[in-house]
Amino acid sequence: MRTRICPFCKEDIHFQALVCRYCRRDLPPVTPPRKKNSHAWLAAITTAGIIVSGAAFLAAEFLRERKNWLTEPTRPPESQNPPD
Ligand SMILES: [Zn+2]
């Protein structure tokens, strides 16, 4: 049997009890765990994954382009060309 602790007398009571059987005080209703929360959590993880993979893709593309810039033969500036 699932129980919880009465916030007033700290006795073990049924988790769905609305009135404590020890101190007879009204208890706040138990909020059931929502499955929506786990769905929102999954959506947040998926969104984060898309953002991270997108950023990783952009970073990989940037590094590839940068490698091209570095391997590209650098032309000497025109001012250093010997005049005819
Ligand atoms: Zn109580």
Between CA 54 and CA 52 the distance in angstroms is 5
State the distance from the centre of ligand 1 to the C-alpha of 23, rounded, in angstroms: 4
Between CA 56 and CA 62 the distance in angstroms is 10
Per-position pLDDT tens, the chain of length 84: 799 999 999 999 999 999 999 999 999 887 766 666 778 889 999 999 999 999 999 999 999 998 888 887 666 666 666 667
State the distance from the centre of ligand 1 to the C-alpha of 20, rounded, in angstroms: 5
pTM, two decimals, is 0.37
Do 47 and 23 share a structural domain?
no
**HEC profile for 22-67?**
CCCCECCCCCCCCHHHHHHHHHHHHHHHHHHHHHHHHHHHHHHHHH
Cβ(9)–Cβ(2) below 8 Å: no
Do 39 and 24 share a structural domain?
no
| Domain with 47 in it | 33-71
65 inside domain: yes
State the distance from the centre of ligand 1 to the C-alpha of 72, rounded, in angstroms: 79
66 inside domain: yes
Could you say which DSSP state residue 5 is in? E
83 inside domain: no
State the distance from the centre of ligand 1 to the C-alpha of 32, rounded, in angstroms: 21
Do 65 and 38 share a structural domain?
yes
53 inside domain: yes
